[in-house]
Structure 1
Amino acid sequence: METTLPYAGADSCLRALAGVAEGFGRSAVGGANGPLHHVTSLSDDGPGSLREACRKKEPLWIVFEISGTIHLSSYLNVSSNKTIDGRGQRIKLTGKGLRLKECENIIICNLEFEGGRGDDVDGIQIKPNSKHIWIDRCSLRDYDDGLIDITRQSTDITVSRCYFSGHDKTMLIGADPTHIDDRCIRVTIHHCFFDGTRQRHPRLRFGKVHLYNNYTRNWGVYAICASVEAQIYSQCNIYEAGEKKKAFEFYVEKAADKEEARSGLIISEGDLLLNGAQPCPLKEAIGEHMFHPTEFYPNWTMEPASDSLKHILHTCTGWQSVSRPAEQVINCS
């Protein structure tokens, strides 16, 4: 069976990427309403640098005229209404990562993140109060903290077609049991490949996460984890165990405004379990509500979990050697 790629027309012209995200981040248009901005320097800061572009307040569609590594000496803060579009070049960020703080309308596409060092250093850190974000076709590995962390009331986010490897605590969503306002968090993760990362694919507290058509293999602790009040809808994913067989984990924690500790909920629907991966246990959930994605968006590009899906996720995730689409005077969609 031929696998259908999501948003197949996104590379037809440069700004066709805007507004075609699936899931909770579907409203992200990035810098679609701003001019094209060209990054011409691999320097950490200064004229022509990515940092200079990201601090500008106006909407920008940021593209690169060079390939290479940008070593970040500190987090690179991204302001609202920005598209960081790596198509057509090969850009790697190292040293530190991107920080999306109190911003909205962000698209990050076709970048590599590797070798972030320091306490609390994530590849992409989303906090606080950020929303309408789409992270697409990025490769992330080897940071001292998380690869993507989404916390402190950040919401309406989609992570798609990303490749995660060489890491321990991969993706944390929801900060800790004291941050009860993280109940607003909503994240979609689809068509991603978690390749031998140990845990947190993701680990969720409080919020809602829709996982579909992802491939997670050879984890070291668990595949996905529902902590306090989490709701995870796992749909048509592939879980291929290595030595550790527990795919679905539940951690009990006490929310700061509750008297009793509890874990979260996971629904596993149409998931493919390989190499002895254990199925999701049925948990007693009297009086608890599990969301369904159709409560929030009507459709998404999904197919049954299968060998054909697994094989294509080997090649269509992470940074891609694709040409930069042409810019057109008339905005295309």
Structure 2
Amino acid sequence: MSCLIISVLMSCSKDSDLLINSILNDQTKDLEEYSSASDKKEEDSGSSESEADLTHSDETDSQNYQDEAHIDYGPLKAFPSAYGAGAYTTGGRGGSVLHVTNLNDSGPGSLRAALNASGKRIIVFDVSGVIVNKTPLVVKNGDFTIAGQTAPEGGITITGERTEFSGCKNFIVRYIRIRPRFNTYNERDAVSIASCSDYIFDHLSTSWGTDEIISTSGGVNNATFQRILIAEGNKTGSIMGNSDDPSVSENFSMHNCLFYNISHRFPNVNSNGRVDVINNVVYNWNYRLIRTQGSVQLNHLNNFYLRQKNNAYTNQLNKVDYSYGGTKPQIYTAGNIIGLGIFEDPKADNWELWSTFNSWSYGGKSYRSDTPEPAPADFRAPNSYSLLGSPLPIKPAVEAYNNIVNDVGANKRLNEHGEVVIDQDVLDANYLSRVIGDNPQRYDYKSLTDITNSAHYINFFAGIASTPLNYGYTDTDQDGMPDAWEEARSYLDPNDPADGNLDFNNDGYTNLEDFLNQVDF
């Protein structure tokens, strides 16, 4: 049955195709019912989101974005395809443009120098290749946009020491790869976010963390993690919120992400507030899926889980930890699927997938860590919550799988004409081919050698060069827009650095952002 759900780049039997269509049709009907209820809730709460906003696909049909007419996007988002709690982040909008001109760890023209600068800034890339952090890259000054889609062929990869965003607010990170050198003597995340708020990570490729791959700590507020390829950690995937104090974290979204060959935490959710975990794919996990801590109000919707390592599913799914006490958690869970014949009915009662974790008491009953039991029935929310931030278009789980494997990670760039070019590295291509082909690479939880002995890891580090792979387009006035793009538009001047921060078509985005946003179409 390995072809049961996989409908991209694989051929399945006629019977399997019929079953896939049946599952998809059932989920579509359920989704329509959910959307209707959600729309009603939005009306009741006085939301200004229009029906078009709720149904607009993040794979929007290509518009002629080069037209000079006004475009109304509704409430202005970080970029048109931004969704979730961090969707309204402004980043470096209207600020200075800083060019990364080399692959150096520090100094003029380096990424570190651009991130250490202060004030509103948009960071663009004149080179592609691998940046090696000789010391941890700790980002403390917010109000920036990392526009990785501007890098020439090959894109930007960060490796070496850890990358951490610490105590900063209001930032956008798009289309970069973060793959630290595997550390056998010290636990560290590939991407760490500590006490930050109002941010969005979009189309990242991350791997090789020795604790989590991408995680938060401290206070977390108004954050989105979307379209991230999270792969190959020797331990766990992601912690969202503050595991030491769930009360300081709320309003974060994870959607359309893919986890590959990681043991558990997809993600762990630590919050006393609202969280959305929607339309994610998890492939070849080891232990459990999600664990909640705190009095969270969680939407857990239409995620796709495929192939647990060793096919041992007993008590190894979603967990509720109430050891902090306080107000009971409220979890709305529906539409989630576990492939390969395990849990494939989109109408099935998803509460079956939740059980207890740790030792605690509730409702006059004691729960023990050594004997997990079904989660208390009144931890289950009777209705879904209104989606955080800009509501994403929710897909049935099977459809989400097919969509995500075709658009996840740092997989695109823009050329000098603002045209989208597919630009995926060999590591992501390998991960995705194994997911699509249902051919996972063997791994052991906490192994210190599985990853470092793999050919793709060895080849990656053997291929690092200090000189750029490629150089970018000509930008005479250094305003972030290529000369070719400006020359094709009468209202832009390739010799005028001030026109990048103007807004010719009055859509709310600056002229520079109009160029950067081409990657969304």
Shorter-chain TM-score: what band? 0.7 to 0.9
Q: In structure 1, what is the Cα distance between the partners aligned to 2:167 and 2:267? A: 22
Select which of 311, 317, 320 maps to 2:402.
311
What whole-Å deviation, never above 9, does each CA across 1:227-277 have from its counterpart, x for those lacking one? Answer: 34334311122122332436632253532xx5x8x9855322222231244
The superposition leaves residues 119-164 of structure 1 with CA deviations (integer Å, 9 ceiling, x where unpaired) of: 3522221112x11110000111111222211121121100111111
Matched, 1:198 2:289: no
1:298–1:59: structure 2 CA closer, same or farther, 3 Å change rule? closer
The answer to whether structure 1 residue 146 and structure 2 residue 212 are counterparts is yes
| Equivalent residues, number | 323
Q: Distance in 2 between matches of 1:228 and 1:98?
A: 28
Contact 1:152 1:181 (8 Å CA) reproduced: no
Q: Deviations over 1:171-221 (max 9, x none)?
A: 012333x42433x32211111111222111101122432122211122111
Distance 1:172 1:303 in 2: 24
Structure holding more helix per residue: 2
Aligned pairs for 1:1-333 (under 5 A) are 6=58, 8=60, 18-20=78-80, 21-78=82-139, 79-89=141-151, 90-116=155-181, 117=183, 119-128=186-195, 130-167=196-233, 168-176=235-243, 178-182=244-248, 184-207=249-272, 208-242=274-308, 243-245=311-313, 248-252=317-321, 254-255=323-324, 258=325, 264-277=329-342, 279-281=350-352, 283-284=375-376, 286=378, 292-294=384-386, 296-297=388-389, 299-306=391-398, 308-323=399-414, 325=418, 327=481, 329-330=502-503, 331=510
3-state SS, counterpart of residue 151 of structure 1: strand
Contact between 1:135 and 1:160, CA under 8 Å: does it hold in 2? yes
Code of the aligned partner of 1:200: R
Structure 1 residue 74: deviation in Å? 2.7
Q: Which has the higher strand share?
A: 1
SS of the residue corresponding to residue 186 of structure 1 reads strand
Deviations 1:74-102 (A, max 9, x none): 33233111111111431111123332222
Does the CA contact (< 8 Å) of 2:332 and 2:380 recur in 1?
Answer: no
Query: Residues 7, 310 of structure 1: CA spacing in aligned structure 2 closer, same or farther, 3 A cutoff?
Result: closer
Superposed CA deviations along residues 44-95 of structure 1, whole A, max 9, x for unmatched, are 1111001100011111110111111111123323311111111143111112
TM-align CA RMSD: 3.2
TM-score of the two chains, using structure 2 as the length reference: 0.56
Percent of paired sites with the same residue: 20
CA distance in 1, matches of 2:246, 2:172: 27
In 1, the alpha carbon distance for the partners of 2:271 and 2:77 equals 30
Q: Distance in 1 between matches of 2:351 and 2:285?
A: 16
Query: For residues 56 and 10 of structure 1, do their structure 2 counterparts lie closer, same or farther at Cα, with a shift above 3 Å needed?
Result: farther
For 1:252, the aligned partner's letter is D
Unaligned runs of 5+ in 1: none
The 8 Å contact of residues 213 and 231 in structure 2, kept in 1 or not, is answered as: no
User: In the aligned structure 2, how far is the partner of 1:157 from the partner of 1:218?
Assistant: 27
Structure 2 residues not aligned, in runs of 5+: 1-20, 25-55, 67-75, 344-349, 355-374, 419-479, 482-499, 504-509, 515-521
Mapped to 2, the partners of 1:321 and 1:299 lie a distance apart of 24
- Cα distance in 1 for partners of 2:247, 2:79 equals 27
Distance in 2 between residues matched to 1:224 and 1:19, nearest whole Å: 29
Seen in structure 2, the aligned counterparts of structure 1 residues 288 and 211 have a Cα distance that, compared at 3 Å, is closer
Query: For the pair shown, which has the larger CA radius of gyration, 1 or 2?
Result: 2
How far apart, CA to CA, are the structure 1 residues paired with 2:328 and 2:188?
27
